[in-house]
Structures are given as structure tokens and as C-alpha cells.
Amino acid sequence: MCEKEGDTVLLLPGGTGEGLGFFRVIEELNKEFNIITISYPFVKTIDQLLDGIQAVMNSEKVTSAHIIGASAGGHIAQCLAKRNPERVKKLVLTNTFVPDADYVAKAKKNPVLVRLLPRWLITRVGLNSWKKIAKKTVPADEYPFLEAYVREIYTYTDVKDQVLFWNQIYESLVQNYTFKPGDLKNLGILIIEGALDDAVGAERRKNLKKLYPNAKSYTFKESGHEIVFVKPKEYVEIVTNFINYDKVI
């Protein structure tokens, strides 16, 4: 977090759980805002995770912040805004959707099987899933670097614990948090999406806009699920204009 006057932006990462996943936008955002980026501890419930995020904010003496949630981080961000709206100034939802019981049932992995499978196999499955999505939309000159970055994360992350972590987070999320039209109606929300984002899908993107009908939105026409990585300058410009002027270019 930089020590200067001004608003704070809190960054909530996606499935890797690594705050450094925002490395391509942190420096540019930090020119305008104080930055806090979170790496998730392997807690067991969504409320424990939200408590931890608020503890970080308290430690940094931040009463409220603009929240940016990317991918799975968007799910965490929506829960934080619903449970503790006083901590959220504006909400930016990037490459994400509304988590529900149907999604969780399909995404959940058998914990017994996860513990039995070798680490290398889980890592390979995770990498192959990422490649299948990324190869369609990540520019050819960007792909080798991004692949190396994702591979490095899988190398030093305990992928078994990570899979089990998300199982528990999503199970507790759908048990304790539901979202309906009218939720967060007093909060400024920006939805940033990729028109080619197969990880989210067109139907879920549409449902997110239905849930927050007053939200502003911006669509990257030629991008998929990696907007923060492949369109960092444009992304920062859009976010900055929304936070400072409540406008979307």
C-alpha cells in the first residue's frame, strides 16, 4: 500500500488466490490510488475469508475502499458488499458472474478423490483447463509469458489445498449468501466483461447485468477471461474514470 492521500483500491484475485495476479495493473492504479491486494489464506468458510479481508483493511486503517474483484474474486467481492456495504465505496466486477448452487454443484470436486490423486496430475489438469480457455483469446505474443506465469503459480502453490479451499468457500457461500435484483442498489457498480469469455459464458454475463440493472458496464469485444493481463492500460483507464468521475469511456 502506498503512503499518500486519496482513495484506496482493494484487489481481490481469482482462482489462483494470488494477489500478485494483478501485477500488470497495480503500478498504474497506484499512480492514482492506494492499493491493497489480497492473497487468500486457506480458510474454511466465506465469512472467515471476509473477516480476514476486513482485518487487513483495519490493519491498514482503511474504513472503506473501492473493491475490484476478478473472476472468483468477483464472487468474494459481491459477498463483502452484501455483508458489509459500509466498507465498500464502489464495486468493480471483472470477468465474473453470480455464484449459485447450480454452478457450485458442477464445479465442486470430490474431496476424497482430490486427496488421493497425485499432485502432478491435478496440476496438469489445471494447466490444461487454463490453456483451453486462454489459447482462444490471449494474443500470440502474450501467450508464452502468461503460460509461464500460470505454470509458476501451479509450481509453488499447493494445488490440492487450493481445490479443497474453493470447495469449502463455495459451499459456505451458497448456504449463506443469495443474490436477487435490488441487492446493492445503493452502490456504484461497474461490470467489465470480455465478449469472448468462455469461462463465464454469455448467459452468466447477461444474468449479472440483470441482477444489477443500474450498474455501468464495459465490454472488451475481442477479449476473453484475461482482460487484466492483456488489456492493462485500457482496463486501468476505465476503472479510474469510473471511480473518479462515475463515467465509463
HSE of 231 in the Cβ direction (CA atoms, 13 Å)?
Answer: 22
Residue 5 binned pLDDT confidence (cut-offs 50, 70, 90): low
**Predicted local confidence at residue 110, as pLDDT:** 80
Residue 2 binned pLDDT confidence (cut-offs 50, 70, 90): very low
Instruction: Look at residue 58 and tell me whether its pLDDT is greater than 80.
Output: yes
Q: What is the pLDDT of residues 137-153, one digit of tens each?
A: 999 999 999 999 998 88
Q: What integer is the mean pLDDT of 77-104?
A: 94
Q: What is the pLDDT of residues 115-133, one digit of tens each?
A: 889 988 988 988 998 998 8
| Grid coordinates belonging to 140 | 500470440
For the chain, the first-to-last Cα distance in angstroms comes to 27
Residue 109 binned pLDDT confidence (cut-offs 50, 70, 90): confident
Q: What is the pLDDT of residues 46-57, one digit of tens each?
A: 999 999 999 999
Q: What is the pLDDT of residues 213-222, one digit of tens each?
A: 999 999 999 9
Helix (H, G, I), strand (E, B) or coil at 123: helix
Residue 93 binned pLDDT confidence (cut-offs 50, 70, 90): very high
* Spatial distance between the Cα atoms of 53 and 13, rounded to a whole number of angstroms: 12
**Predicted local confidence at residue 108, as pLDDT:** 79
Instruction: Look at residue 113 and tell me whether its pLDDT is greater than 90.
Output: no
Secondary structure element (H or E) that encloses residue 91, with its range: strand 88-94
Q: What is the pLDDT of residues 151-179, one digit of tens each?
A: 888 888 888 889 899 999 999 999 999 99
Instruction: Look at residue 107 and tell me whether its pLDDT is greater than 50.
Output: yes
Query: Do 224 and 199 contact (CB within 8 A), yes or no?
Result: yes
Indicate the domain borders of the chain. 8-245
* Spatial distance between the Cα atoms of 199 and 210, rounded to a whole number of angstroms: 19
**Residue whose C-alpha is closest to residue 142's, from 19, 224, 38, 42:** 224
Instruction: Look at residue 1 and tell me whether its pLDDT is greater than 80.
Output: no
Helix (H, G, I), strand (E, B) or coil at 56: helix
202: left (phi over 0), alpha (psi -120 to 50) or beta: alpha
Which CATH class for the 8-245 domain? alpha beta
pTM of the model: 0.94
Q: What is the pLDDT of residues 178-207, one digit of tens each?
A: 999 989 999 999 999 999 999 999 999 999
Instruction: Look at residue 212 and tell me whether its pLDDT is greater than 70.
Output: yes
Q: Which residues pair with 91 in a beta bridge?
A: 67, 189
| pLDDT mean across residues, the chain | 92
